[in-house]
Amino acid sequence: MGCAAETPARRIIVAGAGYAGTTCGIRLARGVRPEDSLDILIVEPNPCQQALSELDLVAVGPNRPEFCELWHPTLYRGLPVTVCYNRVADVLPDSNEIVVEGGERVGYWRLVLATGAVASTPPIPGLVEHASTMWSVEDARRLQRRSQAVLTAAARMADRTERRRTMSYTVVGGGATGVEIVGTLAQMLPKRVRDAGLDPSDLNVHLVEGRDDILFDLPERERARAVRRLERMGVEVITGAFVSRVEDGVVVLADGRRVDSTVLVWAGGAKADPHASEWGLETSANGRVVVDESLRCVSHPNVYAIGDVAEARNPATGAPLMMLAQMAIQEGPAAADNILREARGEAVRPFKPHFRGEFVSVGPTWGVGWMYGVPLTGIPAITMKRITYVKYWLQVGGLRLAAKRTREMLALAR
């Protein structure tokens, strides 16, 4: 069966159903009227939205076959939306068409590009061979399997020095993603270690960051508190140290230090979906699709780009917006509203982002961050972080779905 049936209506294609594409698709579906003569098609390979911001819990928690933020069939039930479970292989912006994998061409009246980002790994010798990245549920499950294999191997070792070297975990990257992963490892691994009959005091967990501090986006007091919390949980925090190469089980730093790292996670950065720069749309030096203040591509105004793949700018500062879910879920509805305005012959409006807070977990039950300029630490910060998830689930799925996901989230942190 093809991806999309012929229709006399004007077709809107949303490519990618992560945070940006889902919020856009839902807003379009709820806002469209029969007289608009619009057809909404979402093209996304996965039947569920991956829960990126909970990957740390998936990686360290008990084994589970699937972990999903939201199932698309549940989300779109009863709404005037078709979901095509396929991947956009090409965009032909000059003829207003996409090509899906398998070769089918589908024409559009408006395209919303929301294909996200991927982990970016620099050419450090040995890095790709030895490190896991953390950008999908599959990445998290790979890390979980690797960790379990390491603990099983350690349980067979009689020599304590060898066991300690084997039970070594390193996360490289002291931004929010790296800190969340290392915090969860430090808090939850001891239980996994005891379950394997091992002694948690043999665990070695390191965080390596090239800059002089971690969590550079946060106020200095919050950064210091995060470091103290990590150290209390037994993490060795190594800052001002760039990784020069990776060998089997060891990370070698630029100053020659060697850090035992049987399990290595690279959380050193992300880049926009690399395919987006091959599709004839104007992209910035870092590969993000350049959009105007109403989120339309500067080179092709029939194409909107939102979320991590797009380079939208903060109108107040002129700086590119950060690759964050909280930006993606504001851009999605804003793009949808502009498309509906265009469909009704009205003028599009500029997107006005708001950035009222930021929260980073340091282990599943504690966090740092700020809200409305006020620093938050500990349980208030982690509570606010979890509330932002619940708000998202309410926004796209309503009360019942939010209640279900909240129960799952609380169960994960145990």
Nearer to ligand FAD, 36 or 90 (CB): 90
Residue 223 to residue 70: CA distance in whole angstroms: 32
Residue 326 to residue 315: CA distance in whole angstroms: 17
User: Contacting ligand FAD (CB under 6 A), which of 10, 36, 87, 320?
Assistant: 87
Residue 56 to residue 33: CA distance in whole angstroms: 41
- Residue showing the smallest CB distance to ligand FAD in the complex: 18
Shortest Å, Cβ 388 to ligand FAD: 7
Shortest Å, Cβ 408 to ligand FAD: 16
Residue 50 has φ and ψ, to the nearest 5°, of -75, 140
Q: Contact 279/93 with Cβ under 8 angstroms? A: yes
Contact set for ligand FAD, span 140-179 (CB under 6 A) = 177
Nearer to ligand FAD, 39 or 308 (CB): 308
**x/- map, 278-317, ligand FAD, by CB under 6 A:** -----------------------------xxx--------
Task: For residue 363, state whether it binds ligand FAD (rule: CB under 6 A).
Answer: no
Q: For residue 205, list its beta bridge partners.
A: 169, 235
Q: If 0-12 CB within 10 Å is exposed, 13-18 middle and 19+ buried, where does residue 40 land?
A: buried
User: Contacting ligand FAD (CB under 6 A), which of 29, 88, 237, 297?
Assistant: 88
Task: For residue 45, state whether it binds ligand FAD (rule: CB under 6 A).
Answer: yes
Task: For residue 393, state whether it binds ligand FAD (rule: CB under 6 A).
Answer: no
Strands 117-119 and 270-272: antiparallel
Q: Contact 136/50 with Cβ under 8 angstroms? A: yes
Task: For residue 116, state whether it binds ligand FAD (rule: CB under 6 A).
Answer: yes
Nearer to ligand FAD, 99 or 401 (CB): 99
Sheet holding 243-247, edge to edge: 243-247, 250-253, 258-260
In this structure, is the dihedral angle defined by the CA atoms of residues 328, 329, 332 and 338, taken in order, positive or negative? negative
**Site of interaction with ligand FAD (CB under 6 A):** 15-21, 43-46, 49, 52-53, 55, 87-88, 114-116, 134-135, 177, 273, 275, 307-309, 323-326, 328
